[in-house]
Structure 1
Amino acid sequence: MLDTKDFSFFESENSFDFKGFLIKTASYWRWFLVSWVIAFTLAYQTNIRKEKIYGLETTISVKEESNPFFTSNTSLVFNWGGTSDQVQTIASTLKSRSHNELVVSKLQYYINYLKQGKYNLVDAYGEIPFFVNIDKKYGQLAGTLIKIKFLSENTYQITIDFSGDSAQLYLYSDNSIGTTAVAKGTYQANFKTGQKVILPFLNWQLEIKDNPGYYVGNEYFVSFGSFDGVVSGYQGINVEIDAKGSSILKLSLQGTNKARIVEYLNTTVQVLRDNQLSAKNQFATNTISFIDSTMIAMEEQLKRTGDELKAFTKGKNIVEIEEGGKQISDRLLEFDVKKDEVGRKLAYYNSLKSYLKNSTDFSKLPAPSVAGIDDPNVVVNVSKLISLSTQRSEMKYAVKSEKIFKDFDNQMQAIKNVLLENIATAKSSLQYELNMISGNINEAESSIKQLPEDQQELIKIQRKYDLNSNIYNTFLQKRSEADIVKAANVSDIRFIDPAKDVGGGLVGPKTGVNYVLALFLGFIIPLLFVFGIFFLNNSIQNTDDVAKLTSIPLIGVVGKKHTESNLSVFERPKSALSESFRAIRSSLQFLYKKKSVEGAKTLMITSSVSGEGKTFCSINIATVFAMSEKKTIIIGLDLRKPKIFDDFNISNDIGAVNYLIGQKSLEEIIQPTHIPFLDVITSGPIPPNPAELILSDAMIKMLDLLKKEYDYIVLDTPPIGLVSDALELAPYSDIILYVIRQNFTKKDMITLLNTRYKRNEIDNVSIILNSFESKAKYGYGYGYSYGYGYGYGSYSNGYHEDDEPKNIISRIWKFVRRKTKPKDRSGD
C-alpha cells in the first residue's frame, strides 16, 4: 500500500526565479560577447558586400497646351479633353507593360554591362569604354557571363564557360527563347572592335565609345537578360501625384547604378511625351492621310481633263468659241462646286454612319472639315470620340479595371448615339439642298443645248476641268492648314526637373538596421540558450534550491577544490575551502552536543549517486577533526567501489572486508596516514556479498572497538540512491551527512531523500552542498561563498590563502589589482 509520504514532490511548487535567471544569464557574459562579435562581424561583412542602392527622381507637369495657330476660323479641331482626364491615365501608362517595353527596347536595358568590384560583379553601365550592337534577328546567349578582355586598343578576347552541351538563347525580335548546341568547356576567341561577330550563340558588333580612356588589359563582362523580366522590373517605377498640385507627377526609381536610373527616368518621360503628342496629333494625321489619298485621285482626274481641254482647243480660235457661253459656263461651275460640296458631305456622313455602326476603334476617323462640314455638334463629337478611343487603347495594358473600360464604352456609346441623330438630320437637309442644285444644273444645261456644238463641247470640257481644279485647290488648302496646326502642336507633358546625378541619392543598404539586428540577435540567441538551460537543467543550483526542495537542514557549503588530490584541507589549511570544512566541524560539534553524544562520535557520509564528492568530504572532514588533535579514523565502507586509499598512498590489499570475514584483526587493518591523529581503514578486496557483510555482527563489534580508541569515526559509505548498504549503517551513526553537488545532483534525488527521511529510514541527517561556485554558469549565490561567512572579499584578505586563478584572464586581473591597489603606510 502506498504511503502519502511517497508524494512529497507535491510539496514544493515550482515558480520562476527571475533574479536567479538574471544572475545565471550574467554568468554567461562570455557567450554574449562572442555572439555579439560574430553577429556584428556578419553584419559588417554583409554591409560592405552589398551593392549600394540609389534613388533618383524626376518631376513633370501635365498641362493642356493650346495651339497658337488654332483660331475660331480654323477648320480643324485638335485640342480636346482636359488635364484632369490625362493625369491619372499618364500615371497608369508610366507603369504599364506596353510603355515600359518601348523604353527598355529603346535603351536596350536587357544588355547588362558588368565589371569586377571588390567583392562581386557590379553594374558598370555608363562606365565601360564600349557598347555592343546586337542583331535582333539572331539569338543571343541567355544568362551566361561573357568575359571581355581588351588585348589592344582594337582587339578583344571573349571567354565563355559552358557547363553543358547546349545553351539557351534570347531572340529579341519576338522575345522568344531557343537553344543551340555548344561544346562543353571554355570557349575563347579574339575579335576586332567593329567586327561583326557571328556565332551560333552570339551575334553582335562591339564598338568603342568616344573618349573611352585607358582600357587595354582591362576585363569586363556582358550578359543578356530576359526582355520580359527587365520590363517587369521597371514596371515598379514609383509614380506619385502631387497632393498640392494635381497636374504634377513625381517619378522615382531605385537601383545600383545612377547613370542607368537617370537615363531611364528621362527616357521614359520622353517616350511618353512622344506618344502623347502623337495621340494629340492623331486627328490631324488622320485628316492629312485622308486628304493625301483623295488628292492623288484628283491629280489624275485634273491631268486627264487638262489634256482633254488642251486637245480640244488645239488649232481652234478659243476666244471666238468662248463668246456667248462664258456666262452659262460660270453659272454651271458655281452649281457644280456646290453640288460637289453637298456630295462630299453626304459621302462623309454615310461613311461616318457605317463606321459608327461597324467599328469599335475610332482613332482613325478623319476630321469632318475635310468634307466641308462645319456643324460644331458633329465636329466636337467626332473629336471627342477619337480622343476617347485613343485613351482607351492606351489604357489597354495599363489598367486592369473593367469598370473603367465600361465607363469609356458608355461615354463613347452616348457620343455615337448623338452623332447618328446629327447625321440623320444633316442628311435630310443636304438631300433637299442637293435636289435644288440639281434642278438649277438641269436648267443651265438646257440653255447650253441652244449653243453651237463647239461651244457646247468646250463648256463640257471646261466644266470638268474647273470643277476638278476647284476641288483640288480646296483640298490643298486644307492639307496646308492641317500641316501648320500639326507642326505647331506641343506635348501636354513637360519636364519640371529632369533626373540628374548631382551626388548623393544613397538609400541603401540600411547598415544601421543590420547592426541593430546584429545587436538583437547577438543577445537573443545566447539568451534563448541560457533560458533553455535554466528550464531544462534539473540539477541543484544553489542553496535556495535545497531550501525549496527539502526541510532537511543544510549544514554547510563547500567550495570547488583547486588541488590535484582530495587532501585540500591538509595541503592548504588556510584556504577558504579549509574554512568551510571547519565551519562544518563546528556545526557537527553543535549537533553532537545537542544530541548529548558522549565519548566517541560516529559520522556517516553518503550521497545520492557516485561523483557528488562523498569521499572528498569524508577525507577533509576527518582531516579537520584530526588537525584539532582528535583521534580520528576513516572507514571505507563503499565495498563495491573502493577509492579512499589513493589519496593517502596506502595499499588496499587488506581492509574492512578482511576483518568482517574474520581473516584479520582490527589492529592489522588499521593503517596510519601522514596526517597526525588520522588513521584509515580501507575497504579491502571487493567481496561478493557487501550488504551481508555490513549487516553482520562483526560490523557492530568493529565499531564498538573503534569507539574505545578514537574520538571521531567517519564512515565513507556507498551512495544511498544506488544501493541499500548506507541504510543498513544508518542506525550505527550519530549524524548522517548527505552530500549533494552543485549542477550535478538531480532534484529528483532530493525527492527520494525526503521520502526516506519521512519514512524514518534515515534520521539525524543534514546536507552538505559541495563544489559550489557563487558565480557558476549554472548557479548563483546570493552572497554565499565557501562556507558561511567566509569568502573572497576584502574581509577575508590576510586570513585565507587565495586559490590560484584557474585561467589566464583571472591571473591577469589578479596581477592588475595587486599593482593598482594603494599601499597601506599606516604602520610605517
Structure 2
Amino acid sequence: MEEEDKDVNSLSGIFDVRQFFVKIIRLWWLFLLCIGIGMCYAYYKNQFIKTVYYASSLISIKDNSNPLFTSNQSLTFNWGGTTDKVTTAIVQFKSRTHAESVVDELQYYINYIKEGEYYNTDAYKQTPFYIYADSSKPQLYGKLIRIKVLDQDYFELSTNFSDNPTARGFHYGLKKNTTVNTPTGDWKQQFKFGDSIKLPFLNALIEKRGKKIATGGEWLFNFGNYWGQVNRYKGISISQEPEGSSILKLSLSGGNKQRLIDYINTSSVLLERGELERKNKFAVSTIKYIDSSLVLQEQALKTSEQDMKEFRDKSQMLDAVSQNSDFNKRLTEFEIQKRGINSKLNYYDKLKSYLKNKTDYTLIQAPSVVGIQEGSISAAVGRLITLSEERKRREFAMRQDAPIFKEIDRDINAVKDIIYENISSSKSLLNSELNQLLVQINKVETQIKKLPKEQQEFLRIQRQFAIDQNAYNVFKAKRAEAELVKAANVSDIFVIDEAKDTGSPGTRKDSNINYLIAILIGLSIPISLAFVLTILDNYINAPKDVEKLSKIPLIGVVGKMDHPTNLIVRDKPKSTIAESFRGIRSSLHFIYDQDSLHGSRTIMVTSSVSGEGKTFTSINLATVFALSGKRTVLVGMDLRKPKIFDDFEIENDLGVSNYLVNDCSLNDIIRSAGMENLDIILSGPVPPNPSELIMSRRAGEMIEQLKKDYDYIILDTPPLGLVADALEIAKHADASLYLIRQGYTKRGMLDVVNEKFDRKEVKNISFVFNYLNERGKYGYGYGYGYGYGYGAYGNGYHENDQKKSWVNKLAGFAEKLFKRK
C-alpha cells in the first residue's frame, strides 16, 4: 500500500492531475466559446455537403460463335475462352483509350453549371439546351460563359475577359493546348438556337432540348480539363458477380446521376461495338477482297458478253452451238477447273509470302474463298488467327517481356511450319492435277481445231463467256456467304441490366459527423490548453504542493480577503483571516525552544521574494498576540524596502537603521501602534549598508533588550531567497515563518530554504501558505484545522465582507494607491 502511495506521489510530482482538472473547470467559458464556434462552422460546412449518386449496370461476357458455320466452312474462327475475354474486357473498360472514346462521344469536357446559394452544381442534362462542340476547332479553356435564355428562339452569351487579347485554349480533336483570340473586357452577344457559333474562341452549336423551353433562366458552362475527365472515368469500379464469373458489374458514383448513367451505358455500347467490329474484321476483309475480285470479274464478263454479241451480229451461224456444244461444254468445264486450280495455287503463294513478311495474321483471307476445302489448311489458318488474336488481347494487360508472349510466339511459329508443309504438299497435288487437266484440254482443243475458223472463234467466245459468268457467280455466292456470316456474328458483350435512373435519392455524408467533430475539437482545445498550462505552471497553487516540495512543516493557511490595509485582524477581529492567525499563534507554542533563557519569544517572518505577504503576516500576527493581552512589538528589520509605516500611517523618519548607527536610543524608536499591548519599531531611513548593520553587535543587543521588555517580538525581515540579511536575523529568532503565496511563489524558490534547512542554518522554521483564493478552488481538502479565506467556520460566525463588485474593487485600489503616494 505504501508503494502505491509513492507511485501516486511520484506521478503527481510530474503532472498535477487535480490542478489539471481545476484548470479545465476554470476554462468553462473557453469550452462554450470553442464549441459555439465549432458548431457554427460545422453548420456552414454542412451546407456544402453534396448528394452522391450511384449508378451501375450488369453485362455478360460470352463466347458467342456463329452457329451457322463450322471452323472449316466459316470465314471466322473461334479465338479464345471466356476467362481471357473477361480479363480483357475489364482491362479495356479501365483503359485510357476506352475512356477517351467515351469522353469524346459524350463530350464530357463540356461542364454545365447551375449557380446555387452555397455552391455550384453539375447541371448536365438539367439545362433546357444542348451544347455540341466542334472538336475540329479550338475552344476557350476553363472560362465560365453565362448563357441566358431570352425567348423560344434566342439566347445570350456573356463573360468577362482580361485586357489580354489572347487566352488559353484547348483543341479537343487534337487533344493539345493552344491559344485563342478573345475580345477584352465585358463581352455579350445574342445567338439563335440551332445556328452554328463560329467565334475565334468558341465553335459550337446550341440547340433547345424540347420544342418549348422556359425563358429567363441563366446557366453557366465552360470547356474543362479533358485529361482530368479521362482519368476520373478510368477509375470505374468493375466487379465479377459472383466472383470468378463472366458477369461484370460496372458502377460509378458522383454528383450527377444522369452523367454516371450515360457514361456506363455508352461505355458498354462502345466496347460492344468495338468487339463486334473486331469479330467482323475477318469477314469485312474477305468481303473487300471479294468485292475487288467481283469488279474485275464483272468487267471481264461484260467484255465476253460484248464479244459474243458482236460476233453474232456479223455471223450467220445459228446452229453452231447445238452442233458443237459437247466439245465446248467439256472444254469449258476443263477451263473452269483449271482456273480454280490456278486460284488455289495463287492463294498458297500469297499465303506463304504473307506469313513470311507480315506479323498480323488476323487479316488472312479464308481458304474457302478460293474453294480450298482441305481441313488441315483451314484448321491451321484458324489456329494461327486464334493465336494472333490471343497475343493482341494479352497486350492490353501484360508487359511485352512477359513469358506468355514467348510461348504464344513459339506456337505461332509451329503452326506456320505446319502451314508451310501443307502448302508444299497441296501445291504438289494441285500441280499434278493441273498437268492431267492440261492433257484433257489439249485433246479437246485438237478436236475443235478441226472445225472451221469461224466456228472455233465462236466457240472460244462462248466458252470465255461461260467461264467468266461461272467465276462471277462463284464470287457472288461467296460474298453472300460472307455477308451472312457478318450478319450472324454477335458481340461477346451482352448488356443484362443497363444503367437507369430508378428514383434513388442518392446519399449524403452524415452531417452529424461534422457536429461531432466540432464538439470534439471544441473540447480538445480547452483541454489541450489546460494541459499545457498545467505542464508549464511552475507556481505553488495549493498547500499540498508544499508537502511534496519540502520537509519543512506547514503551520497555517491564510486566505484572501479584500481590505484597504493590512490591518485586517485589528479592523475585523472576528473575520476568518483573524481566525487563521489565531491558529498560527496556537501552533507556534509547539515549536518554541522550551529551554530559552527569556520568557519572551522572537518570531521572524520571511519569504523567498518580495510580495509574498511578509509585512501583511507580521502586522496581523503581532496584532493577534496583542489582542491576547501579550506585550508585543513589531520590528521592521527589512532595511531595504520598509513598508510597515504605510499601514500605520506613521512617518518612517526614525527607526532601526538610526538605532544601529547609534543616532538614537532604543526608546526613541519605539512607537505606539494605536492599540493596547502593541508597539512598533519602524525600519527607518534606508541605509547604504543594510547587511553590515544587521550583522552588527548592536542589532543583537537591540533584540536582546526587546526580549526583556516584551512577551513577543515579531521581526519583519527581508526575503531569505534574495539577501543574506534574514539569515543573520534568524540567529536571534525562536521561530521562523516562511511565507508562500498561492500562484505567486515558484516551486524552485523553495530550493534555497530547503538547502538551508537541511544544513541546519535555520531552526524552528515553518511555512505559512498565504493568499488562498477560495476554499476548494484547487480541489484540495487540507485537514489542518486552520481557518482560512471564506470559511473555516463561516455561515455567520465570522465578520467577513460581502464580495465587492469590480467597481468597488477598482475604487478601493485607487484610494489605497492615492494614500501611498
TM-score range, shorter chain: 0.7 to 0.9
Q: How far apart are the structure 2 equivalents of 1:305 and 1:234?
A: 61
Partner of 1:106: 105
Correspondence 1:743-782 to 2 at 5 A: 743-772=743-772, 780-782=778-780
Pair 1:672–1:35, CA change in 2 (3 A): farther
Matched-pair contact (CA < 8 Å) for 1:58–1:499 = yes
Partner of 2:159: 159
Matched-pair contact (CA < 8 Å) for 1:53–1:507 = yes
Partner of 1:92: 91
**Partner of 1:254: helix, strand, or coil?**
strand
Deviation at 1:669, TM superposition (A): 4.6
Q: Which runs of 5+ in 2 are unaligned?
A: 1-7, 807-821
Q: How far apart are the structure 2 equivalents of 1:457 and 1:567?
A: 156
Partner of 2:444: 444
Partner of 1:4: none
Matched-pair contact (CA < 8 Å) for 2:132–2:206 = yes
Deviation at 1:730, TM superposition (A): 0.9
Deviation at 1:173, TM superposition (A): 1.4
Q: How far apart are the structure 1 equivalents of 2:15 and 2:132?
A: 72
Q: How far apart are the structure 2 equivalents of 1:442 and 1:597?
A: 168
Partner of 2:550: 550
Moved more, 581-590 or 399-408: 399-408
Pair 1:604–1:72, CA change in 2 (3 A): closer
Alignment of 1:20 onto 2:20: no
**Partner of 1:744: helix, strand, or coil?**
coil
Partner of 2:605: 605
Matched-pair contact (CA < 8 Å) for 1:93–1:395 = no
Matched-pair contact (CA < 8 Å) for 1:274–1:491 = yes
Q: How far apart are the structure 2 equivalents of 1:563 and 1:785?
A: 27
Deviation at 1:474, TM superposition (A): 1.1
Q: How far apart are the structure 1 equivalents of 2:181 and 2:653?
A: 87
**Partner of 1:761: helix, strand, or coil?**
coil
Deviation at 1:512, TM superposition (A): 6.0
Aligned alpha-carbon RMSD (Å) = 3.5
Paired positions, count: 794
Alignment of 1:739 onto 2:735: no
Matched-pair contact (CA < 8 Å) for 2:20–2:531 = no
**Partner of 1:363: helix, strand, or coil?**
helix
Alignment of 1:233 onto 2:232: yes
Correspondence 1:49-68 to 2 at 5 A: 49-67=48-66
Q: How far apart are the structure 2 equivalents of 1:228 and 1:174?
A: 12
Correspondence 1:40-439 to 2 at 5 A: 40-67=39-66, 69-70=68-69, 75-77=74-76, 79-153=78-152, 154-162=154-162, 166-180=166-180, 185-210=185-210, 213-216=213-216, 218-244=217-243, 246-390=245-389, 392-393=391-392, 396=395, 399-400=398-399, 402-403=401-402, 405-406=405-406, 408-439=408-439
Pair 1:312–1:702, CA change in 2 (3 A): same
**Partner of 1:314: helix, strand, or coil?**
helix
Moved more, 715-724 or 681-690: 681-690
- Structure 2: which amino acid aligns with 1:641? K
Q: How far apart are the structure 2 equivalents of 1:212 and 1:388?
A: 57
Pair 1:407–1:613, CA change in 2 (3 A): farther
**Partner of 2:590: helix, strand, or coil?**
helix
Deviation at 1:150, TM superposition (A): 4.1
Deviation at 1:710, TM superposition (A): 4.1
Matched-pair contact (CA < 8 Å) for 2:448–2:456 = yes
Deviation at 1:262, TM superposition (A): 1.4
- Structure 2: which amino acid aligns with 1:107? L
**Partner of 2:605: helix, strand, or coil?**
strand
Deviation at 1:215, TM superposition (A): 4.8
Q: How far apart are the structure 2 equivalents of 1:106 and 1:680?
A: 105
Q: How far apart are the structure 2 equivalents of 1:188 and 1:413?
A: 67
Pair 1:157–1:174, CA change in 2 (3 A): closer
Partner of 1:783: 781
Deviation at 1:745, TM superposition (A): 2.7
Q: Deviations over 1:487-535 (max 9, x none)?
A: 2322222222222233447455465665565555555554444444444
Moved more, 752-761 or 590-599: 590-599
**Partner of 2:363: helix, strand, or coil?**
coil
Correspondence 1:800-811 to 2 at 5 A: none
Partner of 2:817: none
Partner of 2:814: none
- Structure 2: which amino acid aligns with 1:310? K
Deviation at 1:361, TM superposition (A): 1.9
Q: How far apart are the structure 1 equivalents of 2:676 and 2:304?
A: 153
Q: How far apart are the structure 2 equivalents of 1:479 and 1:530?
A: 90
Deviation at 1:58, TM superposition (A): 1.7
Pair 1:461–1:579, CA change in 2 (3 A): farther
Pair 1:574–1:387, CA change in 2 (3 A): farther
- Structure 2: which amino acid aligns with 1:294? S
Deviation at 1:248, TM superposition (A): 0.9
Q: How far apart are the structure 2 equivalents of 1:409 and 1:594?
A: 114
Q: How far apart are the structure 2 equivalents of 1:730 and 1:86?
A: 101
- Structure 2: which amino acid aligns with 1:199? L
* TM-score (normalised: structure 1): 0.86
- Structure 2: which amino acid aligns with 1:327? D
Correspondence 1:557-636 to 2 at 5 A: 557-563=557-563, 565-569=565-569, 576-592=576-592, 599-636=599-636
Q: How far apart are the structure 2 equivalents of 1:674 and 1:257?
A: 91
- Structure 2: which amino acid aligns with 1:502? T
Q: How far apart are the structure 2 equivalents of 1:265 and 1:169?
A: 29
Q: Which runs of 5+ in 1 are unaligned?
A: 1-11, 809-828
Alignment of 1:656 onto 2:656: yes
**Partner of 2:591: helix, strand, or coil?**
helix
Deviation at 1:650, TM superposition (A): 4.6
- Structure 1: which amino acid aligns with 2:722? L
- Structure 2: which amino acid aligns with 1:339? K
Matched-pair contact (CA < 8 Å) for 2:558–2:768 = yes
Pair 1:433–1:520, CA change in 2 (3 A): farther
**Partner of 1:28: helix, strand, or coil?**
helix
Partner of 1:818: none
Deviation at 1:476, TM superposition (A): 0.9
Correspondence 1:502-513 to 2 at 5 A: 502-504=502-504, 506=506, 509=509, 511=511
Partner of 2:687: 687
Matched-pair contact (CA < 8 Å) for 2:614–2:739 = yes
Correspondence 1:436-475 to 2 at 5 A: 436-475=436-475
Deviation at 1:236, TM superposition (A): 0.9
Percent identical residues: 45
Q: Deviations over 1:701-740 (max 9, x none)?
A: 4434544554433222221111112112111221111122
Pair 1:156–1:545, CA change in 2 (3 A): same
Q: How far apart are the structure 2 equivalents of 1:262 and 1:673?
A: 98
Pair 1:114–1:443, CA change in 2 (3 A): same
Matched-pair contact (CA < 8 Å) for 1:162–1:187 = no
- Structure 1: which amino acid aligns with 2:353? S
**Partner of 2:135: helix, strand, or coil?**
coil
Moved more, 415-424 or 71-80: 71-80
Matched-pair contact (CA < 8 Å) for 1:69–1:484 = no
* TM-score (normalised: structure 2): 0.87
Q: How far apart are the structure 2 equivalents of 1:280 and 1:426?
A: 29
Matched-pair contact (CA < 8 Å) for 2:160–2:187 = yes
Matched-pair contact (CA < 8 Å) for 1:312–1:458 = yes
Deviation at 1:101, TM superposition (A): 0.7
- Structure 2: which amino acid aligns with 1:101? E
**Partner of 1:178: helix, strand, or coil?**
strand
Q: How far apart are the structure 1 equivalents of 2:428 and 2:757?
A: 123
Matched-pair contact (CA < 8 Å) for 2:772–2:788 = no
Q: How far apart are the structure 1 equivalents of 2:600 and 2:803?
A: 40
Matched-pair contact (CA < 8 Å) for 1:695–1:728 = yes
Deviation at 1:395, TM superposition (A): 5.7
Moved more, 750-759 or 406-415: 406-415
Q: How far apart are the structure 1 equivalents of 2:663 and 2:89?
A: 113
**Partner of 1:484: helix, strand, or coil?**
helix
**Partner of 1:591: helix, strand, or coil?**
coil
Correspondence 1:663-682 to 2 at 5 A: 663=663, 666=666, 669-670=669-670, 672-673=672-673, 678-682=678-682
